[in-house]
Amino acid sequence: MYKNPQVKPALLTKFEPWYPMLWTDGSIGAINVADIEVKELKAFYTQEPSLSQSEEYKPVRTGFEDEILTGSNGFAFAPSVTESGNAILYINPHVTFYFRPEVHMVSDEGLNAYGAVTWGQFFIYQGFNQHCGWMHTSSAVDVSDTYIEKVSHKKNKWVYLYDGKEKPVTTKPITILSKNSHGRDTIRINSFHTHHGPIMAKRNGQWISLKSDNRLMSGLMQSWLRTKANGLEDYKKTMDLKGNTSNNTVYADTKGNIVYWHGNRIPRRDPKLDWSKPVDGSTAATEWKGYHEMSEIVHSINPNNGWLQNCNATPYTVAADQSPKRENFPAYMAPDGENFRGVNAVRVLREENRYNIDKVIQAGYDRRLAAFEVLTPALVKAFEKVPYEDTLFALLAGPVEVLKRWDYKSGVNSVATSLAIEWGQKIWTDIMKTNVPGKENADQVDKATYFATIADPQILLKPLLVTVYELQTKFGRWQTPWGEINRFQRISTDIEHRFDDSKPSFPVAYASSLWGMLPSYNSRTFSGTKKRYGVHGNSFVCAVEFGPKGIKAKSLLAGGQSGDEKSPHFFDQGEMYSKGLFKDVLFYKEDLFMRGLKGYFPGEK
């Protein structure tokens, strides 16, 4: 960018070698901070009365709009279940579109890595080299904890109690600058800290601090060194650095090894305590006691079933009945629940025992929506109790019949998919509010399954009636195929005007991962649109086979590699993406030079 005479930087005009180091590791940060919410942080430091000392704190995350979009799928196949006798890795991160570019990094010093990077990274985040490959999925491993601090105000200073002694609460000034219509605002905050970390909230009159690792040089080293790993033992050495705070790893190599590690940097704690909730900060008994070794964390190496899978869900189904056993590990090590993608992945991967790259891609693009296998029969059962003479019967008879005959597969020509997804979004809040008897930490599969057995018929039927009305209003008929509603379009990088119903777009068969869809495609309407447009989900997707004499791979990228609207590569993979059609990866230089259109060297026009 610095040397290209045709490119003018939008902001930075001077570049320093240390800039890439600002992104210090390949993880995405601790994602489970004991349900601390931004509103709590704001209330504490602005003295808002919304969380008073007498108010009981009850975290609520229920709506479809709060769906956790971060995620990914990772599959690994051992030689015992592949046609060629080589291991195969399936790389499938789910992120915001155009956020995960596809790159091949080669150097004369020995680097030769291919895969996906996140903006700002100088290392391949999810990908492979000539020896092995790695796929990261987001994890719910408990890597950060909250502490209840016993604080008091004495002699105009805050102190907190720890092992029977009073220690001073430290303060650190923070200055935040923000733009406004007249210029900029300056906000100054004196943040409070104990030795555990910053005070993040006040619950029921108690100060809550947060302990979390977020300044790790080992994370930077691990992210770089794994790109040059030459096999399993070498890769294990990078894992031993314990620099990754948020990711699981699915691994495969040229020797035929497949491995799964659930997390990486996991603090060692007293297993008798419930670490999913704030613990007593006034005693040394709740301190971390170092970190678990890789041999101690939940993992699976070369399972007998021949495959591994993780879809941001529990590791206790990672290899079906060959998976690690929950009772062998402390609860904080794998609090992840099951999701419908995980349910579907286990089923799909069991259906084939002679995989090749194309069959792996076919498995990764399975279109069954496992959530509706639970929810739709409950809807049909509720409808069957409606009296024939009831108006509701006449209005819903047709839609319910369509859903009753549905095979639970999404498709561009499927009316049932349109009905199910639009209906499902309307009942998801009620599903997530469901309390499952005997399961305080029930996952989405538990909640949906129990909800389907106890839901009042009106809770199920009225949202379907609203769905029918909305489809008729928007599209003139409720019998609207999913492909007419669900579209893929890239016409502009302008956030405010990036989608337009009047301009060309591609129909997409896929749907949100929430419903068990493996090829995740999260779409929604925007201001001025009736149709839904994809914004998040499958980004870089790749299947790679590790032969002893060479790498074979196929990949696909959401839309296009270029962010320049005038570039032919701005949306040249759009139709391919909408249909799940992959391209060959040109991993070897001779293949690249033979098929390349042109070459470019920095400084040339």
32 contacts: CB under 8 Å, gap ≥ 6: 140, 141, 142, 143, 144, 335
Amino acid at 165: K
Percent composition of the chain: helix, strand, coil (DSSP 3-state, to 5) = 30, 25, 45
| pLDDT (tens digit per residue) in 330-377 | 999 999 999 999 999 999 999 999 999 999 999 999 999 999 999 999
DSSP letter for 230, please.
-
Domain residue ranges in the chain:
19-66+145-212, 71-142+217-364, 370-478
Superfamily of domain 71-142+217-364: Aminohydrolase, N-terminal nucleophile (Ntn) domain (3.60.20.10)
Mean pLDDT, the chain, integer: 91
In Å, what is the CA distance from 123 to each residue of 27, 57, 456? 12, 41, 52
pLDDT at residue 70, as a whole number: 52
Categorize the per-residue pLDDT at 411 as very low, low, confident or very high, splitting at 50, 70 and 90.
Answer: very high
CATH of domain 19-66+145-212: 2.30.120.10
In Å, what is the CA distance from 352 to each residue of 222, 302, 355, 489? 35, 18, 7, 34
DSSP letter for 110, please.
S
| Token pair of 411 as six digits | 């498709």
Name the helix (H) or strand (E) containing 483: helix 482-485
Nearest-angstrom CA–CA distance, 395 and 383: 11
| pLDDT (tens digit per residue) in 541-594 | 999 999 988 999 999 999 999 988 999 999 999 999 999 999 999 999 899 888
Average pLDDT value for residue range 492-514: 91
Nearest-angstrom CA–CA distance, 371 and 311: 15
pLDDT at residue 445, as a whole number: 97
Nearest-angstrom CA–CA distance, 88 and 544: 6
| Token pair of 274 as six digits | 């419930």
| Token pair of 149 as six digits | 């601090």
Name the residue among 365, 411, 409 with its Cα closest to residue 543: 365
pTM over 0.75: yes
pLDDT at residue 132, as a whole number: 98
